[in-house]
Amino acid sequence: MAKIKFTFEDKTLEEKTVTVEAGLTVLDAAEDNDIHLNHNCGEVCACSTCHVYIEKGEEYLQEISDREEDFIDRAINPRIESRLGCQCVILDDDAELEVQIPDQSKIIGHEH
């Protein structure tokens, strides 16, 4: 099982470590473990509301596409480690990731 440590820009939230199977996305992992991450487009890479920062473990994720890069440019405060949670497919059951979720209060969106 892959391990993901979720941290939060909103420091009032406590970090949470979860385990998931390879083949899921970071967004799937958040949803399955009651971690709030906005997402509006239905996981089809058509918005930037599920924007996250991959702090560790990028090598365990599906490569970023040109389309994803275009939408990251529209996210609030994009950085070099920015990805869209819906596009971060975990490739290895031995993956160890650290994912920071931006402050969700600054994002116009909703949880499904």
CATH number of the domain where residue 95 is located: 3.10.20.30
On whether residue 112 sits in a domain, the answer given is no
Structural domain includes residue 49: yes
68 within a domain of the structure (yes/no)? yes
Query: What confidence score (pLDDT) does residue 85 get?
Result: 98
Q: What is the pLDDT of residue 2?
A: 98
Q: Which domain holds residue 96?
A: 2-104
Q: Answer whether residue 27 is part of any domain.
A: yes
Is the residue at 26 inside a domain? yes
Say how far apart CA 42 and CA 30 lie, in whole Å.
15
Q: Is 14 exposed, middle or buried (0-12, 13-18, 19+ CB in 10 A)?
A: exposed
As for how many domains the chain has, the answer is 1
Rounded distance between C-alpha atoms, residue 93 and residue 46, angstroms: 28
CB 43 within 8 A of CB 112: no
- Which pLDDT score, from 0 to 100, does residue 110 have? 54
For the entire predicted model, the pTM comes to 0.93
Q: Which helix (H) or strand (E) holds 66?
A: helix 66-72
CA-CA distance, 96 to 1, in Å (whole number)?
A: 9
Classify residue 110: in a domain, yes or no.
no
Q: Which residue ranges in the chain fall short of pLDDT 50?
A: 112
109 belongs to a structural domain = no
78: in domain: yes
- Chain segment 86-96, per-residue pLDDT in tens: 999 999 999 99
